Structure 1
Amino acid sequence: MSTHINDQGHAFLKKIAFSATFGAILFGYDTGVINGALPFMSRPDQLNLTPAREGMVASSLLFGAALGAFFGGRIADAKGRRKMLLILSVIFFLSTIGCALSPSFEVIVAFRFLLGIAVGGASVTVPAYLSEMSPVEGRGRLVTQNELMIVSGQLLAFVMNAILAVSFGEAGHIWRWMLSIATIPAVCLFVGMYRMPESPRWMVRQGRIGEALEVLKKVRDEKQAVAELEEIQTNIEKESSKKEVKLSELGVPWVRRIVFIAIGIAMCNQFGGVNSVMYYGTQILQNAGFSTNAAIVGNIANGIISVIATYQGIYLMKSHGVRKLLMLGFITTMICHIIIGTSSLLFSHEAFFPYFILFMTVMFMMCNQGLIAPTTWLLLSEVFPMRLRGMGMGVAVLCMWLTNFVIGLTFPVLLSIVGLSGTFYTFACIGVVALIFVKLWVPETKGRSLEKIEEDFRAYGATDEEKAKQYIERI
């Protein structure tokens, strides 16, 4: 369904994206800041962390995020996307303060876990909200702004880490200031979402038809708003016999296929190794030969290229299908993995080697953040039916965060056992599996409404008798 948006509608959509994606900035900042904070946090006069405890501090957020993603999706289905984001903003603020003031290892792990719940909830709710607010033609661009703001948050973390480390590195407590900066976007998220409307699709499900139409009119012309409202209502009426969303519904054959695809996409995204660079980029560059401060500064390059690449990814999705971009992303990142692994075997003692590894990690981040990451979040926000979107995304992103947790916890061990080359060869092998998975299972969603995507999935799982009945009904 083609949708015309006037200038006022474009302006309102920009306000929606600007407000909601503060949740994505917090997602990015809170996952990226630990990269530079850990070396200072681990000092004997601070929290005196061992390597194992460093891993716990870094990964406790990821475990919390897994739970936050799963339960956050269900709460968003029940209470609404807007209200969920307001709740998350408060959790972000309070847990950030708790992390910054933590007096011990146990306390910071607890608050990082709580912070992770907010991060996980935002990782599900923000793209779902943006997807449901946007028209068909603009959905890819609007939803992928979520990924743009995630990488912008990570870049902000890397820049602030470098500035504080270089300027005040002698002050052991500088890590507390690194962490506390996240309170600012938390306040912005609350203030921004307080003024934004609820998702029209969620309001239709609650019987608030008039309010939903008014929201649609703000981002579509009136004729298209009415047509889209009717499409949403028709889709919801098909499911009216099921009043309560149950976890068992994810086992319905056609829904099970969606869940399998979504979980596969989510896990492939993480096993590609992107967050090993985000969380342990300092260690990777130190392993290649950089000093600690040089490694922290070098991480800024990864942050900058991530932002640039995400912009490029948004542009590419205007003219290319998301499935094609996802496949290209796994091919190019796999090539980067092989080059890093091979160069580590052949040139590790050369003077240029640290700079070459920095260059290749930047190339890897460019391919991942420009091709894989934005398409992953877009697909996850598109493939689930409306009434199961929160729960379905919760399950998929739960698996994503658990995979992320495993990578965050085991990467230092893998690096110490098999070295830089073995680690990245492992990622390359996973890339082959991911490429095959996308080729065989992932559908193209470009240019199709959320309701049309759902209809096609339903048709795929229908029996011949059901398909014949559906055909007759259409006639």
Structure 2
Amino acid sequence: MNASSTPAATPPAGTATGTSSTAPTGVREVVRSAADVNRILAVHGSRGTKSKAIILLALGGIFMDAYDFSSLAFGITAIREQFGLNGFMTGLVNASIMVGAVVGAIFGGVLVDRFGRYKLFMADMVFFVVAAIGCALAPEEWSLIFFRFLMGIGVGLDLPVAMAFLAEFSKLRGSGNRSQRVNAWSPAWYIATGFGYVVVLVCFLLLPIDQHDYLWRIVVGFGAVPAIVVLLVRRKYMAESPQWLADQGDLRGAVDIMRSHHGLDVELDLPAGSRVQKKESGKWKGIAELFSPKYRIRTIVALCVSVFSTFGYNAVAYGTPLIITTLFHQGALTTIVSSLVINLVFGAVGGILGVAIVNRFGARRITLVGFVLQTIAIGTLALVGVPANALVFVAIAMLALFVFAQAGGPGANLMSYATLSYPTRLRGVGIGFNESAKRLFSIVSLLGFPILSTAMSTNVFWLIAIAPLCGALAVALIPWDPTGKDVDAED
């Protein structure tokens, strides 16, 4: 399909128009095609303050995703007691956000490629605000399940567009490249999770004991506050991705944003009457293309990394409070502090380390090492069983090792595989499909873990250890590494 080179439509709020923005001195780059846009951004990436603000806002969206996912983790025990839930209903409350995430991801991936990153990015925070307030006020389990489902839709919509922004507002290689920026989602996720436990700890210490039943409601409802802040700030700084605009045939709009947000000295040079080729994107058939000969291997290994890392994460990291309270027989304060330290220290540090070393070692090698460490950690937990005395510290240390390996290895790089394996026109579809598949397995683990842990106690860790072991085998056998690959140039 062709699109004539007509003046660009009115850019979104926060996007400068025209070419009057002050650009840095140096060699002026000329744009004649979408390939030129990709080439220039691959070299220069985000140079302007506004472009870096978009990176921070994308990470802010991920912060909200993580907070909303984890905000109910500590309170699930209290919810089970207050609402009189059995193992299945407890798992359903946990998994409802994943069901929503499946719906949001599969539609969000297609919509973000069809209508652009900006529009979807501006819309998804509404889900977080409404859902957080609804969860906090839920009178019984089915209302809670419904609003958790809405929250999941918001997460599913947000992740494909956030990942697309992190990739498309970054350069290909060097410091601050696409692999590092995409992997930065991991420390953002664990910092948000740790922040959630800080809120839990503060409320736990300040509230009278007879009001601790309200603790989970306060923590969940608090998620609406940063969501509103992020939504308001986004309106000021966000702009559309120049790579997506170029793929849509809007080279003029792409050049404007490259000048206003990237700080690049670029000039549009199109002969009169020329036509710009528009790449087909945002179609359901894009999912089928993920399994075409060109992308099949990439899609398979991306799914393996996502599915096997997420299965273990949701059972262990997301279920940390349940494990420490129910399987390790520890009190509320020990559970809160242990969960906080595991996420805010070991998770965040592991994620930051993964960002720092991905350029040197590549996503594939780091992911493989992470899966191996996770297998060792879960195997040790299975051997320890119900810990007593000093073994309690060993068991909690293994949970910390698991989260550390997840944050720096497969947990970080699952987004690299899903985001950086496909060109701009397929990026949203690729992320959305990967996310929806990942969340389906998350539902299985969240529904199954409370039931299996009740029936098998600590022997459940033997089953969980199979997931990282399979992940290590898949990465070892499939030699695809998305680090530093210019997939748009391939396209």
Same fold (TM over 0.5): yes
Q: CA deviation at 1:165?
A: 2.4
Gaps of 5+ in 2: 1-38
Map of 1:32 onto structure 2: 70
Structure 1 counterpart of 2:135, one-letter code = C
Over 3 Å counting, the alpha-carbon distance change for 1:100 and 1:243 in structure 2 is closer
Q: CA deviation at 1:136?
A: 0.5
1:87-143 superposed Cα distances (whole Å, 9 cap, x missing partner):
101111111111111112111111110111111122222112211221102112222
Map of 1:467 onto structure 2: none
Contact 1:32-1:278 within 8 A present in 2 as well: no
1:36-64 superposed Cα distances (whole Å, 9 cap, x missing partner):
122333344xx343433222111100111
Map of 1:207 onto structure 2: 249
Map of 2:80 onto structure 1: 42
- The DSSP-based 3-state class of the residue aligned with 2:74 is helix
Is 1:270 aligned to residue 310 of structure 2? Answer: yes
Contact 1:20-1:192 within 8 A present in 2 as well: no
- The DSSP-based 3-state class of the residue aligned with 2:295 is helix
5 Å matches for 1:55-454?
55-137=91-173, 138-168=177-207, 169-171=209-211, 172-194=213-235, 195-217=237-259, 218-219=261-262, 221-222=264-265, 237=277, 240=279, 244=283, 246=285, 247-271=287-311, 273-286=312-325, 287-304=327-344, 305-344=346-385, 348=386, 350-420=388-458, 422-452=459-489, 454=490
Greater displacement, 28-37 / 142-151:
142-151
Structure 2 counterpart of 1:331, one-letter code = V
Contact 1:26-1:186 within 8 A present in 2 as well: yes
Over 3 Å counting, the alpha-carbon distance change for 1:146 and 1:349 in structure 2 is closer
Contact 1:70-1:391 within 8 A present in 2 as well: yes
Map of 2:3 onto structure 1: none
Contact 2:183-2:355 within 8 A present in 1 as well: yes
Over 3 Å counting, the alpha-carbon distance change for 1:242 and 1:444 in structure 2 is closer
C-alpha separation in 2, matches of 1:220 and 1:317? 27
Over 3 Å counting, the alpha-carbon distance change for 1:427 and 1:298 in structure 2 is same
Contact 2:281-2:425 within 8 A present in 1 as well: no
Structure 2 counterpart of 1:384, one-letter code = Y
Contact 1:4-1:220 within 8 A present in 2 as well: no
C-alpha separation in 1, matches of 2:151 and 2:98? 9
- Aligned identity (percent) is 23
Contact 1:69-1:397 within 8 A present in 2 as well: yes
Contact 1:99-1:112 within 8 A present in 2 as well: yes
Contact 2:100-2:150 within 8 A present in 1 as well: yes
Over 3 Å counting, the alpha-carbon distance change for 1:10 and 1:155 in structure 2 is farther
- The DSSP-based 3-state class of the residue aligned with 2:231 is helix
Q: CA deviation at 1:4?
A: 5.5
Q: CA deviation at 1:71?
A: 0.7
Gaps of 5+ in 1: 456-475
Over 3 Å counting, the alpha-carbon distance change for 1:226 and 1:210 in structure 2 is closer
Is 1:11 aligned to residue 53 of structure 2? Answer: no
C-alpha separation in 1, matches of 2:288 and 2:337? 48
1:403-447 superposed Cα distances (whole Å, 9 cap, x missing partner):
111111101222223331x32222323322211211222412222
Q: CA deviation at 1:356?
A: 1.7
Superposed CA RMSD in Å reads 2.6
C-alpha separation in 2, matches of 1:311 and 1:251? 32
C-alpha separation in 1, matches of 2:88 and 2:210? 24
Structure 2 counterpart of 1:82, one-letter code = Y
Over 3 Å counting, the alpha-carbon distance change for 1:320 and 1:50 in structure 2 is same
TM-score w.r.t. the length of structure 2 is 0.83
Q: CA deviation at 1:72?
A: 0.9
TM-score w.r.t. the length of structure 1 is 0.85
Q: CA deviation at 1:159?
A: 1.5
C-alpha separation in 1, matches of 2:161 and 2:337? 32
Structure 2 counterpart of 1:184, one-letter code = V
C-alpha separation in 2, matches of 1:16 and 1:424? 40
Q: CA deviation at 1:84?
A: 0.5
Greater displacement, 93-102 / 144-153:
144-153
Over 3 Å counting, the alpha-carbon distance change for 1:13 and 1:277 in structure 2 is farther
C-alpha separation in 2, matches of 1:48 and 1:79? 44
Structure 1 counterpart of 2:374, one-letter code = T
1:162-191 superposed Cα distances (whole Å, 9 cap, x missing partner):
222233242122221111111122112212
Contact 1:89-1:186 within 8 A present in 2 as well: yes
